[in-house]
Amino acid sequence: MTREERIAAIQAELANIERSIAETEARKSAATSLDEIARLDDELVALQARRTTLQLELTNLQAAGNEVASVRPDDTRT
């Protein structure tokens, strides 16, 4: 998988996580029991942690791309 493909895959996964977070928050608003609210809170924490991990991975990939882009094919820096 190329760097660009990995970036696209991470961005797609981030979009899915954002959608899941919104859906979970909506379910939490409609929740009627404390157990259900606690379960949804746990789900939100896990989704938010995954989002943070992916955002860091995306930032690192993008930063690495800038570093790699500054190297010429003959391995000399620009």
Per-residue pLDDT reduced to its tens digit, 49-76: 999 999 999 999 999 876 555 555 665 5
Query: Can you give the length of the chain in residues?
Result: 78
Is 3 in contact with 61 (CB distance < 8 Å)?
A: yes
Query: 48-51: which pairs have CB atoms within 8 A and are 24 or more residues apart?
Result: 48/21, 50/17, 51/14, 51/17, 51/18, 51/21
Can you name the CATH fold of 3-69? Methane Monooxygenase Hydroxylase; Chain G, domain 1 (1.20.58)
pLDDT in tens, 30-54: 999 999 999 999 999 999 999 999 9
The closest alpha carbon to 57, from 17, 19, 21, 24, belongs to 17
